[in-house]
């Protein structure tokens, strides 16, 4: 469905296949050992399955619209890996509605899913679906956001990024770029979203702990959207002419901020430094062009790691309850290279 | 000049004194005093816009007076809404039928007083009782049908039945008969007489003077928001009454009976009819109705309540979908059946239900008048203000529309003036055929005479007119020919000398039985339908004394 | 009765009420502006005014169309989705230049409007559900057309349209202003405008008066669609990016709010174009003041809600009793 | 007055035309368009899919959405009076958060706090509509925005999520399939009785049909209006609280756009948006129809991506309302 835009050099479908861009595990490191979760231990023991036999149905529940490049790449990655392994996959998309996600998960169970990969819309709202899965002895692997509950009992494990850590890195980058003297505007994500909460808190905590000369001038929501980010930034630049740095909690809002800085007659990257999170292609390009300082990656290519984990779960290796992936870190130094290698999505 | 024979205080159930009410600078009521004695029927009359309805609304708490008091049984009351007035014992039928069109007839009848069992509405009983009550008023309908499927007349009967059912000390009726037939009017009168016997006082508003003399005891005349006369109606002769209302000297009030029609018949052009409808059929409602209208003639459409007259008019202009039938204008068939197409062909219809189908309430008088004529008043889609103003001025003058100016909101006009605005809307189109459904409904004697003479004039100018009227006299004196409908069938055609009240009633009574293969065949009224009606005449009260009094003075 | 003492103040109160009703929005707008300047004098700077005009222009365009639809006693929830649809085709056609892209967008806006109008006028579906189905479906369509991520737009003509000023005022604002003027003329001076209002006030009576009810209704929705599409193109030009998943979200509510705050009743039969302009500016100013003073989102929403409530209450028509 | 006053019977004259059997069936189908379409859709789905008619699929359709349907129930009352309530989605979310918050202090608070806030805000909306004469659309739009703001204010801009304690009795209210379905069904039955068998129901129907007349007929219009918004607010908050009990937490991002779904269900159920005509049963059919359609679309189209599902969804909604409108066309025409 990627119709007709020839200007985009690296369509997400190929990026999701790019092995060089595949997720790398940060923690646990190989040496780290703890009791790993296997089928025998999961909630008192569930039947062993061979997910690649072409008959076992694996369900994948996506939380948000695939119009978001992160979600699109994530979904594609899962689909491609399933195809590669010969897994029979069914999927649903909850379009950011917890209620819908609950009923969709149950719906997939009704359709015969024997194991589930869930990208939760919300950490705290999947109680009914998880309970149903548990009562039917269907293991659930959660990716990209956590859910409340006990690993290896309510769900197998969590695989994903450390949002709090990403924000800390962002603070470090801004500090470096501004020489420790910054008046920052924060463009936060959609209120009520765990990602927003972590990325806001991580940044604020880091600033408070380490960078006394960084002043947070304003913090307003841009709803993870380019248009809103631009509007808010335009207003903030009017009210606070001293703003010289922006921390955007996702790339879309950073794109909006760049536009707003330009129309205020300033130069992004020079008058105002920008740090952002996610690592979509257009923004990494901007980093390469010097419009932004850094872009911290959130790697959406969950497919290989997720299925590997499932196989480990049914095998003997097992899965650790928290698998934190290594996120890339694009700066002026490596952005060009990353683009050339197609590491971005 | 206010003549008062005001009673000693305490003698009256309802007493209004010194009431002022103005709307955005328009004085609707000025220092109005009004007293109602127990067990009397008190007529409240005046020209359109005199303030009658406003007074009623002040009494019942719809409006709050700017100053003055309302006393009920000697106690000063300040009703905040009709609910409180109703609870205090004032039951009211407001001017336009004010019921809920989408709700069933039975529910409308019992709204707010539903019979209940175990705290829940007893629907079965409600429907049974509703059918029974309405049956007594001669309205024999399926009470579970939505009210709007009834004709306006039947709706008015429902409103009436409802108001009378409420326990009240005072019953106020604002033009209850405006869409009623003589038969229903008679039913109403007997209701009023019973009320009177029970000591209940009735306020009765009507523009039909005959009715006032027939039923009322005393009269209050209003003009321009003031009370100009209160007294026994028997002591007030008709001419004097009219002169009081109009505020003109008696001598200048030339009386020509109750209608202003020229009694001469129009010179009918024989030859091709300007409009000819063939075999109009609407499922369950109209059956093969055909009629012709020639240029320069007024064709009356007679029949009883719900006979299908309004529906015939609507079917002709395409406002109602027909199952069969055709309409030709000057020999050319009207292909696409819609009001717009009819208007383009020169056929216009003044609708019966002014509020729902006539006025555009929030627009000004000017915009209401010019609405249908807009395409003619504009060039390249842009309205020419000058042309429009001229047309509007012309018709406001010609029809003597009483408004503070062309910019006044039409919904703020009195009922009669709204009617004139609608007439103006159609006249400024220069139509060939005018279908008038109750054109003088709710308009005062003066205006009625004007409208009637306009109809005459129009016919004289060569227009074809179809006249539907519940006012028998108007129908007979105004029409050159009368087509009679009954249950959606044409059952008679009166021409020339036969156009008379007797002729009409005869035709209705002797109507041949309807074709037997018609599934909707209503039983012919026979001896079984009621002991009072042995002859099977559809007119109630064969007792001549009970018939509405018609004082023809000519 | 002491009628003199009564009529005096009563009349005055009535007049005040009338004035409030007619000019309430403008007064509120003025007050808000004064407050904004009082809080921060830099609010009067031209650069700030320009920012506000940039941001208000698309909302205003959509609100104008919405005002017409509301005038017919309808409502158009699909405007946001039409913005997305317009945005989605811009990257596809902008290679041929700005005008072809604009033309295709407007055409699609018109088509979407025509579909909505047909559902309302011909099939007699209630406007709110008819346009709700469009709102869902058209945005989906826009996302399909667009693919999975926002597309950058670099065509200079379009970018200029979204960022340049003429005589110190953004081109976008000029366009919106001209559209407002045209809409005003349409409502006040043309047959179409008068028919539209009449239909909104009493549809049955209008039909019986021979007005082309269906044609007027369809046209109104088409106009709304075209204006929304135009807004969509401007949004893309201003943001240099086409993002059908997010652009135009909540636009329907913003536009309706602007229209109603501007004094157009939702019950139809009346269209206040200048009021709509004031309503849109009013809402823009509130957001600007709250954002610029870094008020928390939660309070922003509460304060906005309260101000809308108050503004509408002050300027609404009240029946005399 | 008693019937004793009434005059002797006048002649029966015009008679109500009797409908043929075919017409009566047709009129039933017209009146229950949503139900007819629902039966059709379910029949087709059962015939073509083996998993659709299974109990676990049906229970997933019912169990998770049951509480949300209470929004449509409240909306039915509001729409019947010719009003609209856009605040239900926000109130639903707020109810969930308050319920979860309350549950940390005890089950009673978990139930009472949301109900009290819902009733209070509903009353405010009702008063603004009935007494201040403001347009319902605007008043409840204010609710939609303001309640979200309030929600964020009590959760530190969404950063705090209140969890229902694991062993709180409150959780039982929302668990399983039967509890939610029975609670919701009970509310709907009460709703039917309220609308068709009480004076309150008749009054609110009359108001929607012709408010002016209702005032003139001496019906308690203002009081009824306030009550209707109170009901809607309370139902929405209750739905939210029960939903919170089910989810086990007060999710702040929930309920966005639910007001539109509720309105769509009501309208599909055959209730006129202008008020005065409609039924609770129709709404029940409407919500079920939408839920079934969503389930089917998810089933068949999920693998094509969310944009495609949306498009199909919009198209289907249009088709359903079109069908429903065509079925009941005759009723609306006159
Ligand atoms: N709500 C209103 N706003 C402004 N003016 C009004 C309003 N209601 C009535 N008026 C004005 O008050 C005057 C009296 O009107 P009212 O309806 O009482 O007349 P009426 O005597 O009942 O006439 P009719 O016989 O035509 O029914 C008229 O001039 C009318 O225009
Ligand atoms: N008394 C009644 N009994 C039964 N049905 C009635 C009665 N009055 C009216 N109706 C119904 O109302 C409708 C009236 O049709 P229509 O309005 O064309 O009649 P009309 O002759 O113009 O009478 P009206 O004076 O009521 O306007 C018919 O469908 C008829 O079934
Ligand atoms: Mg009157
Ligand atoms: Mg009639």
Rounded to a whole number, what is the distance in Å from the CA of A77 to chain D's nearest CA?
13
pLDDT at D130 over 70: yes
Minimal Cα distance from D248: which residue of A? Answer: A127
B251 or B463: which carries more pLDDT confidence?
Answer: B463
Q: Which chains touch D (3 or more CB pairs under 8 A)?
A: A, B, C
* Contacts with C300 from chain D: Cβ below 8 Å: 149
Q: Is B6 helix (H, G, I), strand (E, B) or coil?
A: coil
Taking the centre of ligand 2 as the mean of its atom positions, its distance from the CA of residue B299, in whole angstroms, is 20
Please tell me the distance from the alpha carbon of residue B374 to that of residue B379, in angstroms, as a whole number.
10
**Token digits of residue B83:** 């609910």
Residue C9 is assigned to a structural domain of this protein:
no
Closest ligand 1 atom, residue B403 Cα: 31
Please tell me the distance from the alpha carbon of residue B476 to that of residue B499, in angstroms, as a whole number.
6
- As beta bridge partners, residue B41 has B202
Q: Mutation target for C interface from D137, D212, D327: give the one with most C CBs within 10 A.
A: D137
Please tell me the distance from the alpha carbon of residue B38 to that of residue B12, in angstroms, as a whole number.
6
Please tell me the distance from the alpha carbon of residue D314 to that of residue C80, in angstroms, as a whole number.
14
Cβ pair D216:B62 closer than 8 A = yes
Just give the CATH number of B275-346+431-553.
3.40.50.300
Residue C13 is assigned to a structural domain of this protein:
no
The residue contributing the CA closest to ligand 1 atom 2 is B412
Task: Judge contact between A215 and A185, C-beta under 8 A.
Answer: no
Q: Is B406 helix (H, G, I), strand (E, B) or coil?
A: coil
Minimal Cα distance from A64: which residue of C? Answer: C245
Task: Judge contact between A120 and A340, C-beta under 8 A.
Answer: no
Q: For this complex, say whether ipTM is above 0.90.
A: no
DSSP string, B21-80: EEETTEEEEEEEEEEE-TT-EEEEEESTTSSHHHHHHHHTTSS--SEEEEEETTEEE--S
> Cβ of C212 under 8 Å from any chain B Cβ?
yes
As a whole number of Å, the end-to-end CA separation of chain C is: 20
Please tell me the distance from the alpha carbon of residue B436 to that of residue B474, in angstroms, as a whole number.
12
pLDDT at B446 over 90: no
Cβ pair D218:B87 closer than 8 A = yes
Mean pLDDT of chain D: 86
Cβ pair D60:A103 closer than 8 A = yes
Which CA distances in Å does D28 have to A47, D33, D331?
52, 8, 11
Which CA distances in Å does D181 have to A125, D177, D244?
19, 6, 15
- As beta bridge partners, residue A274 has A246
Rounded mean pLDDT, B307-326: 90
Task: Judge contact between D184 and D265, C-beta under 8 A.
Answer: no
Residues 65-124 of A with CB under 8 A from C: 65-69, 72-73
Rounded mean pLDDT, D40-51: 87
In this prediction, residue A34 carries a pLDDT of 65
DSSP string, B241-304: HHHHHHTS-GGG----SS----SSPP----SS-SEEEEEEEETTTEEEEEEEE-TT-EEEEE--
Rounded mean pLDDT, B510-538: 41
Rounded mean pLDDT, D7-30: 54
Minimal Cα distance from A200: which residue of D? Answer: D159
Identify how many contiguous H helices and E strands chain D contains and give both numbers: 15, 0
pLDDT at B265 over 70: no
pLDDT in tens, B456-468: 888 888 889 999 9
In this prediction, residue D210 carries a pLDDT of 85
Rounded to a whole number, what is the distance in Å from the CA of A108 to chain D's nearest CA?
8
Please tell me the distance from the alpha carbon of residue C76 to that of residue B491, in angstroms, as a whole number.
51
Cβ pair D163:A124 closer than 8 A = yes
> Cβ of C204 under 8 Å from any chain B Cβ?
yes
Share of chain D above pLDDT 90, in %: 45
Residue C161 is assigned to a structural domain of this protein:
yes
pLDDT at B540 over 70: no
Torsion region of C272: left, alpha or beta (phi above 0 gives left; psi -120 to 50 gives alpha)? beta
Cβ pair D158:A191 closer than 8 A = yes
Cβ pair B120:D205 closer than 8 A = no
**Which of B351-355, B434-438, C198-202 comes out lowest in average pLDDT?**
B351-355
Minimal Cα distance from D309: which residue of C? Answer: C140
In this prediction, residue D19 carries a pLDDT of 58
The residue contributing the CA closest to ligand 2 atom 23 is B306
Please tell me the distance from the alpha carbon of residue B339 to that of residue B328, in angstroms, as a whole number.
14
Please tell me the distance from the alpha carbon of residue B47 to that of residue C223, in angstroms, as a whole number.
46
CATH code of C75's domain: 1.10.3470
pLDDT at B394 over 60: yes
Q: Which domain holds residue C259?
A: 55-315
Could you say which DSSP state residue B512 is in?
A: P
In chain B, what are the domain boundaries? 14-100+169-256, 275-346+431-553
- As beta bridge partners, residue B350 has B436
Which ligand is nearest to the Cα of residue B22, counting in written order?
A: 1
Residue C292 is assigned to a structural domain of this protein:
yes
Could you say which DSSP state residue B414 is in?
A: -
Closest CA to D274 of C262, C77, C127: C127
pLDDT in tens, A329-344: 999 888 888 888 877 8
pLDDT at B548 over 50: no
Cβ pair A107:D254 closer than 8 A = no
pLDDT in tens, D54-101: 888 888 888 888 888 999 999 999 999 999 999 999 999 999 999 999
Please tell me the distance from the alpha carbon of residue C181 to that of residue C191, in angstroms, as a whole number.
17
Rounded mean pLDDT, A55-75: 90
Q: Which helix (H) or strand (E) holds B230?
A: strand B226-232
How many folded domains does chain C comprise?
1
Please tell me the distance from the alpha carbon of residue A157 to that of residue A169, in angstroms, as a whole number.
25
Cβ pair C205:B66 closer than 8 A = no
Residue C259 is assigned to a structural domain of this protein:
yes
**Token digits of residue D235:** 């139902």
- Local confidence band at D20 (pLDDT 50, 70, 90 cut-offs): low
Q: Is the dihedral of CA A204, A205, A206, A212 positive or negative?
A: positive
pLDDT in tens, A109-144: 988 899 999 999 988 889 889 999 999 999 999 999
In this prediction, residue B512 carries a pLDDT of 57
pLDDT at B511 over 70: no
Ligand 1 pocket (Cβ < 6 Å) reads B 23-24, 26, 28, 46, 48-54, 95, 412-416, 444
Which ligand is nearest to the Cα of residue B311, counting in written order?
A: 2
Closest ligand 1 atom, residue B418 Cα: 26
Rounded to a whole number, what is the distance in Å from the CA of D156 to chain A's nearest CA?
9
Torsion region of C8: left, alpha or beta (phi above 0 gives left; psi -120 to 50 gives alpha)? alpha
Fold match between domain B14-100+169-256 and domain B275-346+431-553: yes
State how far Cα A27 lies from the chain centre: 16
Task: Judge contact between B46 and B29, C-beta under 8 A.
Answer: no
Q: What is the SS3 string spanning chain C?
A: CCHHHHHHHHHHHHHHHHHHHHHHHHHHHHHHHHHHHHHCHHHHCHHHHHHHHHHHHHHHHHHHHHHHHHHCCCCCCCHHHHHHHHHHHHHHHHHHCHHHHHHHHHHHHHHHHHHHHHHHHCCCCCHHHHHHHHHHHHHHHHHHHHCCCCEECCCHHHHHHHHCEECCEEHHHHHHHHHHHHHHHHHHHEHHHHHHHHHHHCHHHHHHCCCCHHHHHHHHHHHHHHHHHHHHHHHHHHHCEECCCCCCCCHHHHHHHHHHHCCCCCCCCCCCHHHHHHHHHHHHHHHHHHHHCCCCHHHHHHHHHHHHHHHHHHHCCCCCC
Name the CATH code of domain B14-100+169-256 (choices 3.20.19.10, 1.20.120.420, 3.40.50.300, 3.30.70.260).
3.40.50.300
Please tell me the distance from the alpha carbon of residue A14 to that of residue A21, in angstroms, as a whole number.
11
Strands (E), B112-206: 116-117, 120-121, 170-174, 201-205
Q: Is B490 helix (H, G, I), strand (E, B) or coil?
A: strand
Q: What is the SS3 string spanning chain A?
A: CCCCCCCCCCCHHHHHHCHHHCCEEEECCCCCCCCCECCCCHHHCCCCCCHHHCCCEEEEEECCCCCCHHHHHHHHHHHHHHHHHCCEEEEEECCCCHHHHHHHHHHHHHCCEEEEEECCCCCCCCHHHHHHHHHCCCCEEEECCCCCCCECCCECCEEECCHHHHHHHHHHHHHHHHCCCEEEEEEECCCCCHHHHHHHHHHHHHHHHHCCCEEEEEEEECCCCHHHHHHHHHHHHHHCCCCCEEEECCHHHHHHHHHHHHHCCCCECCCEEEEEEECCHHHHHHHHCCCCCEEEECCCCCHHHHHHHHHHHHCCCCECCEEEEECCEEECCCHHHHHHCCCCC
In this prediction, residue C48 carries a pLDDT of 92
Rounded mean pLDDT, B546-550: 34
**Token digits of residue A132:** 């149903």
pLDDT in tens, A147-177: 988 888 999 999 999 999 999 999 999 999 9
Residue from the list C1, C197, C204 with its beta carbon closest to the beta carbon of B18? C1
**Token digits of residue C131:** 């346009």
Residue that is written with structure tokens 């204006």 in the block? C227
Please tell me the distance from the alpha carbon of residue B92 to that of residue B541, in angstroms, as a whole number.
26
* Contacts with A226 from chain C: Cβ below 8 Å: 150, 239, 241, 243, 246-247
Mean pLDDT of chain B: 82
Whether residue A28 is preceded by a cis peptide bond, meaning omega within 30 degrees of 0, is: yes
**Which of A27-41, D133-147, D195-209 comes out lowest in average pLDDT?**
A27-41
**Token digits of residue D125:** 């909306």
* Contacts with D297 from chain C: Cβ below 8 Å: none
pLDDT at A2 over 90: no
For helices D88-103 and D258-268, give the axis angle rounded to 10 degrees: 120
In this prediction, residue B263 carries a pLDDT of 56
Residues 428-457 of B with CB under 8 A from C: none
In this prediction, residue B494 carries a pLDDT of 87
**Token digits of residue B329:** 């204008």
Q: What domains are defined for chain D?
A: 58-333 (1.10.3470)
Share of chain B above pLDDT 70, in %: 86
Give, for all 321 residues of chain C, the pLDDT tens digit: 333 334 444 456 667 777 777 788 888 899 999 999 999 888 888 999 999 999 999 999 999 999 999 999 999 999 999 999 999 999 999 889 899 999 999 999 999 999 999 999 998 888 998 999 999 999 999 999 988 778 889 888 899 998 888 998 999 999 999 999 999 999 999 999 999 999 999 999 999 999 999 999 999 999 999 999 999 999 999 999 999 989 999 999 999 999 988 888 888 889 999 999 999 999 999 999 999 999 988 899 999 999 888 888 877 765 545
Burial label, A248 (beta-carbon count in 10 A; 0-12, 13-18, 19+): buried
Please tell me the distance from the alpha carbon of residue B183 to that of residue D275, in angstroms, as a whole number.
36
Burial B103-114 (b: 16+ CB within 10 A, else e): bbbbbbbbbbbb
pLDDT in tens, B56-110: 999 999 999 999 999 998 889 989 888 899 889 999 998 877 888 888 999 999 9
Please tell me the distance from the alpha carbon of residue B192 to that of residue B200, in angstroms, as a whole number.
9
B538 or B473: which carries more pLDDT confidence?
Answer: B473
pLDDT at A183 over 80: yes
Minimal Cα distance from A236: which residue of C? Answer: C292
Highest mean pLDDT among B94-103, B387-396, B473-482, B504-513: B387-396
Q: Mutation target for A interface from C95, C149, C242, C248: give the one with most A CBs within 10 A.
A: C149
Residue of B101, B130, B148, B150 to test ligand 2 pocket, by largest number of atoms within 8 Å of CB: B150
Cβ pair D318:C130 closer than 8 A = yes
- Local confidence band at B527 (pLDDT 50, 70, 90 cut-offs): very low
In this prediction, residue B1 carries a pLDDT of 42
């Amino acid at each position: 469905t990627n119709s007709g835009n020839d200007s985009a050099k690296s369509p997400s479908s190929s990026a999701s296949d790019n092995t060089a861009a595949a997720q790398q595990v940060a923690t646990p490191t190989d040496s780290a050992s703890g009791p790993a979760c296997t089928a025998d231990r999961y909630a008192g023991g569930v039947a062993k399955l061979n997910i690649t036999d072409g008959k076992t149905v694996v369900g994948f529940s996506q939380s948000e619209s695939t119009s978001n490049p992160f979600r699109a790449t994530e979904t594609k990655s899962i689909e491609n890996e399933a195809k590669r392994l010969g897994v029979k996959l069914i999927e649903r998309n909850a379009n950011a509605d917890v209620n819908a996600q609950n009923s969709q998960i149950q719906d997939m169970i009704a359709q015969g899913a024997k194991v589930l990969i869930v990208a939760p819309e919300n950490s705290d709202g999947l109680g009914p679906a998880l309970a149903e899965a548990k009562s039917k002895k269907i293991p659930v692997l959660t990716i990209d956001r956590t859910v409340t509950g006990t690993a290896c009992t309510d769900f197998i494990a969590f695989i994903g990024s450390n949002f709090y850590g990403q924000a800390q890195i962002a603070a470090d980058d801004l500090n470096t770029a501004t020489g420790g003297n910054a008046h920052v505007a924060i463009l936060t994500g959609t209120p009520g979203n765990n990602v927003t909460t972590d990325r806001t808190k991580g940044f604020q905590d880091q600033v408070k702990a380490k960078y006394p000369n960084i002043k947070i001038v304003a913090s307003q929501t841009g709803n993870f959207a380019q248009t809103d980010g631009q509007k808010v930034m335009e207003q903030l630049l009017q009210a606070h002419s001293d703003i010289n740095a922006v921390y955007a909690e996702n790339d879309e809002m950073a794109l909006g901020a760049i536009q707003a800085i330009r129309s205020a007659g300033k130069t992004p990257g020079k008058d105002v430094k920008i740090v952002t999170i996610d690592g979509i292609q257009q923004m990494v390009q901007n980093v390469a062009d010097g419009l932004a300082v850094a872009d911290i990656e959130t790697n959406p290519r969950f497919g290989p790691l997720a299925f590997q984990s499932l196989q480990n779960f049914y095998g003997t290796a097992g899965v650790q309850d928290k698998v934190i992936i290594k996120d890339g870190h694009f700066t002026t130094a490596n952005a060009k290279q990353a683009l050339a290698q197609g590491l971005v999505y | 000049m206010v003549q008062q024979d005001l009673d000693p205080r305490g003698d009256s159930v309802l007493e209004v004194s010194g009431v002022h009410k103005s709307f955005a600078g328009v004085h609707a009521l000025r220092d109005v005093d009004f007293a109602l004695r127990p067990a009397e029927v008190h007529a409240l009359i005046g020209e359109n816009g005199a303030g009658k309805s406003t007074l009623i609304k002040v009494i019942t708490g719809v409006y709050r007076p700017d100053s003055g008091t309302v006393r009920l049984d000697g106690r000063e009351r300040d009703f905040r809404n009709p609910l409180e007035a109703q609870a205090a014992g004032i039951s009211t039928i407001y001017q336009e039928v004010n019921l809920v069109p989408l709700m069933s007839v039975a529910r409308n009848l019992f709204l707010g007083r539903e019979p209940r069992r175990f705290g829940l509405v007893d629907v079965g009983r409600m429907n049974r009782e509703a059918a029974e009550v309405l049956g007594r008023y001669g309205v024999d309908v399926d009470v579970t049908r939505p009210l709007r499927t009834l004709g306006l007349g039947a709706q008015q009967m429902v409103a009436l039945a409802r108001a009378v059912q409420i326990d009240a000390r005072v019953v106020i009726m604002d033009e209850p008969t405006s869409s009623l037939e003589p038969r229903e009017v008679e039913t109403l009168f007997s209701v009023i007489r019973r009320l009177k016997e029970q000591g209940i006082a009735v306020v009765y508003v009507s523009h039909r003077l005959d009715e006032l003399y027939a039923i009322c005891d005393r009269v209050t005349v209003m003009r321009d928001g003031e009370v100009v006369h209160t007294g026994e109606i028997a002591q007030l002769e008709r001419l004097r009454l009219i002169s009081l209302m109009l505020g003109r000297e008696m001598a200048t009030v030339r009386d020509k009976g109750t209608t202003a029609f020229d009694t001469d018949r129009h010179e009918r052009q024989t030859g091709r009819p300007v409009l000819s409808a063939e075999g109009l059929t609407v499922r369950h409602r109209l059956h093969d109705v055909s009629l012709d209208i020639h240029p320069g003639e007024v064709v009356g459409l007679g029949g009883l309540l719900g006979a299908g007259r309004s529906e015939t008019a609507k079917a002709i202009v395409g406002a109602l979908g027909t199952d069969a039938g055709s309409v030709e204008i000057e020999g050319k068939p009207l292909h696409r059946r819609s009001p717009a197409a009819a208007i383009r062909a020169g056929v216009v219809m003044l609708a019966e239900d002014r509020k729902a189908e006539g006025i555009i309430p929030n627009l000004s008088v000017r915009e209401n008048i010019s609405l249908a004529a807009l395409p003619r008043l504009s060039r390249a889609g842009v309205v020419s203000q000058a042309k429009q103003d001229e047309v509007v001025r012309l018709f406001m003058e010609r029809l003597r529309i009483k408004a503070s100016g062309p910019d006044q909101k039409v919904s703020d006009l009195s009922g009669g003036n709204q009617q004139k605005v609608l007439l103006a809307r159609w006249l400024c189109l220069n139509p060939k055929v005018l279908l008038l459904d109750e054109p003088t409904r709710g308009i005062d004697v003066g205006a009625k005479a004007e409208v009637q003479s306009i109809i005459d004039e129009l016919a004289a100018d060569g227009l074809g007119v179809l006249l539907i009227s519940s006012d028998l006299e108007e129908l007979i004196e105004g029409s050159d020919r009368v087509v009679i409908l009954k249950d959606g069938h044409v059952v008679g055609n009166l021409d020339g000398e036969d156009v008379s009240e007797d002729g009409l009633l005869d035709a209705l009574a002797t109507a041949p039985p309807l074709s037997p293969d018609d599934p909707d065949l209503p039983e012919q009224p026979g001896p079984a339908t009621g002991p009072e009606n042995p002859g099977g005449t559809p007119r109630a009260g064969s007792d001549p004394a009970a018939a509405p009094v018609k004082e023809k003075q000519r | 009765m002491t009628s003199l003492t009564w009529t005096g103040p009563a009349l005055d109160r009535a007049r005040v009420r009338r004035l409030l009703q007619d000019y309430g929005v403008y007064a509120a707008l003025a007050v808000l502006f004064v407050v904004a300047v009082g809080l921060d004098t830099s609010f009067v700077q031209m650069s700030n005014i320009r920012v506000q005009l940039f941001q208000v222009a698309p909302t205003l365009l959509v609100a104008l169309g919405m005002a017409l639809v509301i005038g017919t006693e309808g409502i158009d929830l699909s405007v946001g989705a039409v913005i997305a649809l317009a945005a989605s085709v811009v990257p596809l056609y902008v290679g041929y230049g700005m005008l072809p892209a604009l033309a295709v967008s407007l055409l699609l806006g018109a088509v979407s409007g025509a579909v909505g109008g047909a559902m309302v006028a011909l099939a007699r579906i209630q406007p709110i559900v008819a346009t709700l189905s469009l709102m869902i479906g058209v945005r989906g369509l826009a996302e399909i057309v667009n693919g999975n991520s926002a597309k950058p737009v670099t065509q200079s003509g379009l970018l200029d349209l979204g960022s340049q000023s003429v005589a110190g005022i953004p081109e976008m604002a000029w366009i919106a202003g001209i559209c407002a003027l045209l809409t005003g003329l349409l409502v006040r001076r043309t047959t179409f405008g008068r028919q539209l209002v009449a239909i909104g006030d009493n549809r049955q009576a209008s039909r019986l008066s021979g007005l082309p009810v269906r044609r007027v209704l369809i046209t109104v929705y088409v106009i709304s669609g075209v204006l929304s599409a135009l807004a969509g193109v401007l949004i893309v030009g201003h943001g240099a990016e086409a993002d059908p998943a997010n652009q135009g979200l909540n636009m329907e509510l913003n536009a309706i709010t602007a229209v109603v705050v501007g004094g157009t009743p939702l019950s139809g039969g009346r269209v206040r174009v200048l009021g709509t302009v004031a309503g849109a500016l009013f809402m823009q100013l509130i957001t600007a003041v709250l954002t610029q003073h870094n008020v928390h989102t939660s309070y922003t929403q509460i304060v906005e809600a309260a101000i809308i409530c108050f503004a509408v209450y002050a300027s609404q028509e009240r029946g005399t009793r | 007055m008693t019937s004793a006053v009434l005059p002797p019977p006048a002649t029966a004259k015009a008679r109500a035309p009797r409908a043929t059997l075919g017409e009566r069936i047709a009129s039933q189908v017209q009146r229950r368009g949503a139900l007819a379409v629902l039966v059709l859709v379910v029949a087709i789905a059962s015939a073509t899919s083996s998993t659709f008619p299974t109990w676990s699929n049906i229970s997933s359709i019912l169990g998770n959405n049951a509480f949300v349907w209470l929004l449509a129930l409240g909306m039915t009352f509001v729409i019947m009076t010719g009003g609209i309530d856009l605040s239900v989605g926000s109130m639903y979310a707020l109810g969930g958060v308050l319920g979860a918050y309350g549950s940390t202090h005890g089950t009673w608070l978990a139930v009472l706090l949301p109900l009290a806030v819902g009733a209070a805000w509903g009353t405010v909306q009702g008063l603004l509509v009935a007494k201040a004469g403001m347009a319902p659309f605007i008043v409840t739009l204010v609710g939609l925005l303001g309640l979200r703001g309030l929600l964020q204010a009590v959760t530190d801009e969404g950063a705090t999520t209140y969890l229902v304690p694991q062993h709180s009795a409150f959780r039982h209210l929302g668990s399983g399939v039967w509890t939610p379905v029975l609670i919701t069904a009970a509310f709907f039955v009460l709703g039917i009785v309220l609308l068709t068998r009480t004076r309150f129901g008749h009054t609110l129907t009359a108001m929607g049909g012709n408010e002016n007349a209702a005032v003139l007929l001496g019906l308690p219009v203002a009081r009824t209006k306030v009550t209707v918004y109170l009901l809607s607010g309370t139902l929405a908050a209750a739905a939210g609280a029960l939903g919170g009990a089910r989810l086990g937490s007060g999710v702040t991002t929930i309920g966005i756009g639910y007001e539109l779904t509720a309105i769509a269900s009501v309208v599909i159920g055959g209730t006129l948006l202008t008020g005065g005509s409609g039924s609770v049963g129709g709404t029940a059919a409407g919500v079920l129809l939408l839920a079934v359609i969503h389930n089917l679309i998810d089933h068949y189209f999920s693998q094509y991506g969310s944009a495609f599902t949306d498009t199909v969804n919009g198209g289907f909604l249009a088709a359903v309302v079109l069908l429903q409108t065509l079925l009941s066309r005759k009723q609306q025409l006159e």
